[in-house]
A and B are shown apart, each in its own frame.
Chain A
Amino acid sequence: MDFPDITTTIGDYVKAFIDFLDENLEPFFDFIFLISSRSINGFEQFLLYIPWWVFLLLIFLLGWRFKSPFSGVLYAAFIFLVGTFGMWEEMMTTLSIVLVSVLASLIIGIPTGILMALSKGFSVVMRPILDAMQTMPSFVYLIPVIFFFPIGNIPAVIATIIYAVPPVIRLTELGIRNVDQEVIESAESFGSSRMQMLVKVQLPQALSTIMAGINQTTMMALAMAVIGSMVGAEGLGKQVLIAINHIDISLGFEAGISIVFLAIIIDRVTAGIAERFQAHRGNVS
C-alpha cells in the first residue's frame, strides 16, 4: 500500500529558523569567527615557530612522563616520520584546529555537565539533544554552519565542537552524580554552601571521570579532521581529500597514517594524565 498523501515540512521550518539566526545574530557570529580564527592562527604560528627538534623533544618528554621512556621514543619517531612525509605544516594546522575545538568544547561542556548534574530538569531536556548531536550525520549540520561562516577552518571547528562536545558533557554529569552520597552528606553536615560543595567536593571527586571525558572529546575532535576538510579546513584532512580526488594511494596512506599517529599520541598522553589524577581522587567505590 502506498503511504497516504500527507506531507510535513519540518525542514522548511528549520531553514526559516536558520535564516532568522543569520539575519539577527550576525555580530555574534562575526565575534565567534574572529576569536576562533585568531586562536587557530596563534596556535599554528606558535607550533611552527618551535624548531622541529624541540618539538620532537617535547613529544618525547610527554610520552616519557605520562607513559614510559620507550613510549617517549616511539612517539617522537612517529612525529619524525610525519615530517619525512612532508606534512609537518599540515600536522601543525590539524593540531591547532583540534586544540581550539577541544578548548572550546571544554569551555562549553564542563559547565553544561555541571548544570545537568545539579538540575534534573535540565538533564532531561539536554539528553535527547546530546543524543542527536552524536547520531546526526555531521554533513547535515555542516550545511547550516557554512551558511554562517566563510568556508575554511572555522566551520570545521564549529562542526567539530558539535560532534566532540557530548562526551565531556556526559562524563562531567556522570562524575558529579556518582560522587558517594555519604561524602556529599558529610560535606553538607559541615554547613558547606552549594558553591563550596561544588568546588571543594563534587568537582575534585569527579575529576578522573571528567578527564576520561576530555580524552574522548579529544579523540573525537581528531576524528573530525577529514570531514572538517570538506568545508575547507586545511591540514592533514585536506591531504586525504586530495588523495581521494586523485586516487593517489601513497599520499592517502601517508596522510592517513599521520592522523593515526597523532591519535595514538594524544590518546595515550591524555589517558596518562587522567591516570595521574586517579590516584587518591577517583570516586571510591
Chain B
Amino acid sequence: MTTKIKVDHVSKIFGPKPKTVIPMIEDGMSKDEILEKTGHTVGVYDASFDIQEGEIFVIMGLSGSGKSTLIRCFNLLNKPTTGAIYVDDENIVEYNTQALKQFRQNKIAMVFQHFGLFSHRTVLGNVEYGLEIRGVPKEEREKIARENLEVVGLKGWEDKYPDELSGGMQQRVGLARALANDPDILLMDEPFSALDPLIRREMQLELLDIQERLKKTIVFITHDINEAFKIGDRVAVMKDGKVVQVGTPEEILEKPANDYISEFIKDIDRSKVLQAESIMIKPNALVSLKDGLKVAVKEMEENGLSSVFVVDRQRHLQGIVTIDDAINGIKQKKTIQDVIKPDVSVADRSEYIQDLIPKALESRFPIAVVNDDNRLEGIILRVHVLSSLAAEDTD
C-alpha cells in the first residue's frame, strides 16, 4: 500500500487574522472560548493522518465538527491556515494558480451533498463539464460522459435536465460527473445525506461496487456511524475540529479511544459491522476422511465435543460427524464415509454477523468458515454469534 494523501498538522481557522489564533489553541483554549474572545472559528485543528491509495477513507463526526472544512482542504476550496497536505508527495498547499488548476482538472473530483449540478445543462452536459474545461474535443467527451452515465445506471437520461430527476438520480449524475474526469481521488461530502434511506442504501452498495471496479481513493464524509462503518476501510472520527481516532471499523468498535467515541458507537448495530472472522476460532479438533470412527470418537472425547468437522487431506470441508452417529457406526462396523452428515452451515470469513444469526439459529452445530475453495478456515460456535451482539462494556 502506498500513501496517497498525507495530512500533516493541518489547521483551518476562519476569521480575519487566523494565524494569531493558533497559539491560543496551543495554550489550551477551547473552540467556544476562542470564538467568544476573538471572533474566530476553529474549523480544523492539527489534523494528521495518511490516506492509502485505493481505500475508502471515511471522516465521521457530529454536525459542526469540521468534516467539510477538512475535506475541502484536499482540493483547496479551503486553504489550510497552517500545515501541509501531500498528494503523491507534492505539497498541494503551495501550488500556484496554474498548478492548482491542473491538480483539480486531473487528479481530484468532488461530489456534493446537495449535488451542485448545473441546472442549465442537460444530464449529459453536466457530466461533460470537467472534460469541457480541460478542452477535450466534443465528440470524445460526449463518449466518455455516456460511458460514465452507464456506469451509474443512467443510460437513457442523457437529454433530461437535473430538475426532471429524482434526488437519487441527481446524485448519480454528480457521481458520473466526478468519475468522468477519471480522477485518482474522489471527495464525497455527505453525498447520500439528502436521500431517503432506501435509495441511500442502494447508493452505498453501488459505490462499493464502483470502487471495487475502479479502485479510486475515496474520501467520504458522513455523520451516520452505520454508513461510516459499512463503507469505510478506515474511519477518522472528528470532534470540535480535532481528529480523535483513526482506525478500521473493527478497531474503533473494539477499542474506542475515548468516551466520546464510545458514546458515538453505542447505537451502532454491531451485527452489521463485525464480520465472521472476528468471532471465528481455530477448531481444536478435526478428523480426516481417512481416519477411522474410533479416532473421531477419541478426538471428541478428549475435547469434550459432541460433533467434529471432517476434512480431506487439503483441509477441504467434507461434513460433520456427531458422537452418537460415530458410536453407533463403530458397533455396526461402518466408516466415517457412512455416517458423515454433508449438510453443514458454512460462512465466508467476511460475512457480517447479521447474516450468521439465522444460520446459528437453525443449526445444532457450529458454523464452518470456509474460503472460496471450500477449505476450512475456522469455526464459529453458536453461542459466540449471540454473545458478540451484546456491546462490550470495557475490557
Interface residues of A (CB under 8 A from B): 180, 182-183, 185-193, 196, 200-201, 204-205, 207, 280-284
| Apart from A182-B115, A189-B108: 10 A-B pairs, beta carbons within 8 A | A183-B119, A185-B77, A185-B112, A186-B118, A188-B77, A190-B105, A191-B134, A193-B133, A207-B120, A280-B120
Given contacts A190-B104, A190-B130, contact A281 B120 (CB under 8 A): yes
Across the interface, which residues of B come within 8 angstroms of A207, CB to CB? 120
**B161 interfacial by beta-carbon distance below 8 Å:** yes
**B103 interfacial by beta-carbon distance below 8 Å:** yes
Per the bound structure, the CA–CA distance linking A242 and B102 in Å amounts to 67
Of A182, A187, A193, the contact of B101 (CB 8 Å cutoff): A193
Across the interface, which residues of A come within 8 angstroms of B112, CB to CB? 182, 185-186
B110 touches A189 (CB 8 A): yes
Q: Chain B: which residue is nearest A280 at the CB level?
A: B161
**B132 interfacial by beta-carbon distance below 8 Å:** yes
Of A185, A192, A282, the contact of B119 (CB 8 Å cutoff): A282
* Chain B 105-118 near chain A by CB (<8 Å), digits 1 or 0: 11011101111111
Which of A180, A186, A207 has the most chain B CB within a 10 Å cutoff?
A186
Of A190, A204, A280, A281, the contact of B133 (CB 8 Å cutoff): A190
**B65 interfacial by beta-carbon distance below 8 Å:** no
A-B contacts, 12 of them at CB < 8 A, read A180-B116, A182-B112, A182-B114, A183-B117, A183-B118, A186-B117, A193-B101, A201-B118, A204-B120, A205-B119, A282-B119, A283-B119
B75 touches A189 (CB 8 A): yes
Q: Chain A: which residue is nearest B180 at the CB level?
A: A190
Per the bound structure, the CA–CA distance linking A188 and B116 in Å amounts to 11
- Which residues of B72-90 have CB atoms within 8 Å of chain A's CB atoms? 75, 77
Q: Chain A: which residue is nearest B104 at the CB level?
A: A191
B119 touches A280 (CB 8 A): yes
B118 touches A190 (CB 8 A): no
Q: Tell me how many residues of B have a C-beta within 8 Å of chain A.
A: 32
**B251 interfacial by beta-carbon distance below 8 Å:** no
**B365 interfacial by beta-carbon distance below 8 Å:** no
**B291 interfacial by beta-carbon distance below 8 Å:** no
A205 touches B120 (CB 8 A): yes
Per the bound structure, the CA–CA distance linking A188 and B181 in Å amounts to 14
Q: Chain B: which residue is nearest A201 at the CB level?
A: B118
CB distance from B191 to the nearest CB of A (A): 12
**B209 interfacial by beta-carbon distance below 8 Å:** no
Interface residues of B (CB under 8 A from A): 75, 77, 100-106, 108-110, 112-121, 129-130, 132-134, 161-163, 181, 187
Per the bound structure, the CA–CA distance linking A193 and B106 in Å amounts to 14
Across the interface, which residues of B come within 8 angstroms of A188, CB to CB? 77, 104
Number of A-B contacts (CB under 8 A): 73
CB distance from B223 to the nearest CB of A (A): 18
A191 touches B116 (CB 8 A): no
CB distance from A36 to the nearest CB of B (A): 34
CB distance from A188 to the nearest CB of B (A): 6
Per the bound structure, the CA–CA distance linking A196 and B262 in Å amounts to 48
Per the bound structure, the CA–CA distance linking A41 and B101 in Å amounts to 49
Per the bound structure, the CA–CA distance linking A281 and B161 in Å amounts to 9
Across the interface, which residues of B come within 8 angstroms of A204, CB to CB? 118, 120-121
Q: Chain B: which residue is nearest A190 at the CB level?
A: B130
Q: Chain B: which residue is nearest A182 at the CB level?
A: B116
Across the interface, which residues of B come within 8 angstroms of A189, CB to CB? 75, 77, 104, 108-110, 187
Across the interface, which residues of A come within 8 angstroms of B106, CB to CB? 191
B101 touches A191 (CB 8 A): yes
Per the bound structure, the CA–CA distance linking A187 and B120 in Å amounts to 13
CB distance from B345 to the nearest CB of A (A): 49
Across the interface, which residues of A come within 8 angstroms of B129, CB to CB? 187, 190, 200
CB distance from A190 to the nearest CB of B (A): 4
Per the bound structure, the CA–CA distance linking A201 and B101 in Å amounts to 17
Of all A-B residue pairs in the complex, the 7 with the closest CB atoms, nearest first, are A186-B116, A191-B104, A191-B105, A280-B161, A182-B116, A204-B120, A190-B130
Per the bound structure, the CA–CA distance linking A252 and B161 in Å amounts to 51
Per the bound structure, the CA–CA distance linking A189 and B119 in Å amounts to 17
Across the interface, which residues of B come within 8 angstroms of A284, CB to CB? 119, 163
B163 touches A280 (CB 8 A): yes
Per the bound structure, the CA–CA distance linking A281 and B162 in Å amounts to 10
A186 touches B103 (CB 8 A): no
Per the bound structure, the CA–CA distance linking A283 and B161 in Å amounts to 14
Per the bound structure, the CA–CA distance linking A182 and B133 in Å amounts to 18
Per the bound structure, the CA–CA distance linking A183 and B115 in Å amounts to 8
Per the bound structure, the CA–CA distance linking A192 and B181 in Å amounts to 13
A205 touches B101 (CB 8 A): no
Which of B77, B105, B133, B134 has the most chain A CB within a 10 Å cutoff?
B133
Across the interface, which residues of A come within 8 angstroms of B120, CB to CB? 204-205, 207, 280-281
A191 touches B77 (CB 8 A): no
Across the interface, which residues of B come within 8 angstroms of A283, CB to CB? 119
Per the bound structure, the CA–CA distance linking A283 and B115 in Å amounts to 14
Across the interface, which residues of A come within 8 angstroms of B163, CB to CB? 280, 284
Across the interface, which residues of A come within 8 angstroms of B101, CB to CB? 191, 193
Per the bound structure, the CA–CA distance linking A133 and B156 in Å amounts to 52
Per the bound structure, the CA–CA distance linking A189 and B76 in Å amounts to 8
Across the interface, which residues of B come within 8 angstroms of A201, CB to CB? 118
Per the bound structure, the CA–CA distance linking A201 and B75 in Å amounts to 20
CB distance from A156 to the nearest CB of B (A): 37
A196 touches B133 (CB 8 A): yes
CB distance from A185 to the nearest CB of B (A): 6
Which of B119, B134, B181 has the most chain A CB within a 10 Å cutoff?
B119
Per the bound structure, the CA–CA distance linking A187 and B130 in Å amounts to 8
Per the bound structure, the CA–CA distance linking A118 and B78 in Å amounts to 19
Q: Chain B: which residue is nearest A197 at the CB level?
A: B133
Per the bound structure, the CA–CA distance linking A204 and B161 in Å amounts to 14
B133 touches A183 (CB 8 A): no
Given contacts A182-B116, A186-B116, contact A191 B133 (CB under 8 A): yes
CB distance from B17 to the nearest CB of A (A): 19
Q: Chain B: which residue is nearest A188 at the CB level?
A: B77
CB distance from B167 to the nearest CB of A (A): 13
Per the bound structure, the CA–CA distance linking A281 and B117 in Å amounts to 12
